[in-house]
Each structure stands twice: as structure tokens, then as C-alpha cells.
Copies of this chain bind each other. A is one copy, B any other.
């Protein structure tokens, strides 16, 4: 179905991501200020709708009702629409989707989207954060048995290696590529390049996944300003237009009910819907840049396949042949990905969309700049990859 009314990203801001000596509120204010600073002649008084992505401030910051908290901290009088969205690791993209819907449905013209997560507790006491991450999975079937993200994605990696001959080196190539990009991203949590050998020799976390195959426990926030086309054209001629959206979940969430352990057909359904809406008929040729959900190195390889870029089982070769490099078929995760930037759950999708906007304008360091991109994709999985979320953006 065609989009009724077009909306575009016209600005955004970012905090440094990492283990931050900052509260949940500090992160909101830091990202909010950067976001407002990015759009000249626009201030809090222009915002009509506020869309917050955050996963579990209830556990990490002992705070709920977080959307008005953001309004208060940023001085925004909301007079049209306000709420916070949770879809685990895809919460930021979900918030962006609802802001886009509000504009598409003619309900408002100017929206602020803000994603935030404060995961590292003061003093670095990690058991609470680690325990809380087990509730992203089905708590009664999976989380209670200690199945959180690393062992689930390790099983996916094992199964993918078994079925398709994917190698440890191919996984490591994903990490090395994304961390190389992150080394040139001032906001990234991890800014050291690592070699394939260093990935392979890093601490074995959940075999075959080692430490450098995994994203981090991260504090961070990012914001976006989304405007209707009419309004956007008043402030800029460089918007990133949202042209397609897709999400899918196959009546499954706990690991036992997933349709596959080596693939995510839900990603295919979500992507096809988004491609269709955006008029993308050959994604491999038409997509120039993609920010996809590399929470673990294996994820990116499975996504090359299930987003419809290569045949099933060819994902390992895709990275090995440099086809996901900056000068490859599709430049994948030039931001540094989750592996390089870290993964403050609710902020990741917002940061990914901001990266596409920045790449369209060429406003990134030369070392990780994609040559003249016109079409971009953002993708998030969430939970035990039970849900996949895709959006297409055009310059």
C-alpha cells in the first residue's frame, strides 16, 4: 500500500556511547540538545509529537512513564502525540515508525524521536544488567534457564556453520569490518580496530562466539527530527525520506517456537514488504548503504541472506568477498554497527537512521563514508530474533 503522506528526517543528534558516568536523564538531555542544535531555526516549541524508544528503564533506571520525562527535560510542550515504544532491541526503530505514521496519517508535521538506554549501573555492578537481559527472551521458557542473547546467537552460528559451511573466519571478518568503521566514529563505544586474528583469539564467550563477536552493554541516546515533506522542504533540501516499512513476527517468541535456527524468514517477509512499498525491486543493486542489526557477528551474515541480497548459505562469502565493504555491493554498517558502536537498546534504531541521513549528506569522516548513496536500509531484529523490522530511506 502506498504511503499517504511523505515524511523525512531533517536532523539528529547523538551522545557518546559507552559505559558512561551519566544518568538516564543526562543521556536524554545530551542527545536532545545535540538534536535541536542540528536543525537551525527550530526549537522545542516547534515539536508537536514526541516518540521515545526505550526498553527497560523500569529495571535499568527504576523509571517508567518516560515520554513525559523527555518532554520535561527538553522543554517540549507536546500538543498532538506522545508515548514511548518498546520492542526490545528494535525499540528505536519502532518509535521512528510511529512518528512516521503520525505524519503519514496527517496528524502532525514535526516530530522528535528519541532513543535512550542506560544499561551500566553506577560503579559497574553488572549482575542486574545481565539478569535483566534474560527477560528480553521469553522469561518462563528461556530466560529462567539462563538463555540470553549470547547462547541463542551462538546456537544460530553453530547451526549456520553446520548447514552451510560458514567459517569462524567469516564471522570474524564482520567484526573486523565494523570495528574498523567504529574507529572513525566519535560516538562509538569501541574505537579500537581489531584484526581477524584478534577476534578469533578473544575470550570465548559462547562458542563459537568470542568477545569481539559480541556487541556491548552500552549507555547512550540518539535523537531525530522527522517532518512532513511540506515542512521539511522549508528547512532543508537534504532530508532522508522514509519510503518503505515492514515488520514481521511468525507467532513465535520463545526459542522452541522459532521457525528456524539458521535463518530468519521473518526478516525476508519484513524486507519484502518494505522493498515493495519503496519500489525497490533489486535490493542488491538498488541499496547503497545499510545499517543492519549486528548484535553478534553471525547476525550480519544471516541478514545478508534473509534480507534477500544473496542465496541462503552465501552470507559468509558475501563478507569474505568484500561485497559488504564500503566500496562493495552494499556498504553495510559504516557507522560501526552494534559491534563497534555498542547497543544501548532503545537508541540503536534511531542511531542507524541518523547514520543513513548523515551518509546521504556526506557528513561522516572520509574513512567510513559511502560514495554518493541514494537509497538506504535500516534493519533491527529483537529478542531471540523473533521480530524483524525494516525501513527504507531515500535521499
Contact = CB atoms under 8 A, between A and B. Distances in A.
A160 B183 CA distance: 58
Assembly of this chain: how many copies?
Answer: 2
B87 A83 contact: yes
Contacts of A55: 64-65
A102 interface: yes
Contact of A5 (B44, B84, B105, B248): B105
Contacts of A79: 246-248, 269, 273
A83 B138 CA distance: 16
Nearest to A277: B107
Contacts of A50: 249
A104 interface: yes
A197 B137 CA distance: 50
A347 to B, nearest CB: 15
A247 B80 contact: yes
A226 to B, nearest CB: 13
Interface stretch (A68-76, A283-291, A298-306, A316-324): A68-76
A314 to B, nearest CB: 25
A68 to B, nearest CB: 4
Contacts of A75: 251
Given A3-B105, A251-B77, A85 B85 contact: yes
A382 interface: yes
A247 B78 contact: yes
A262 to B, nearest CB: 20
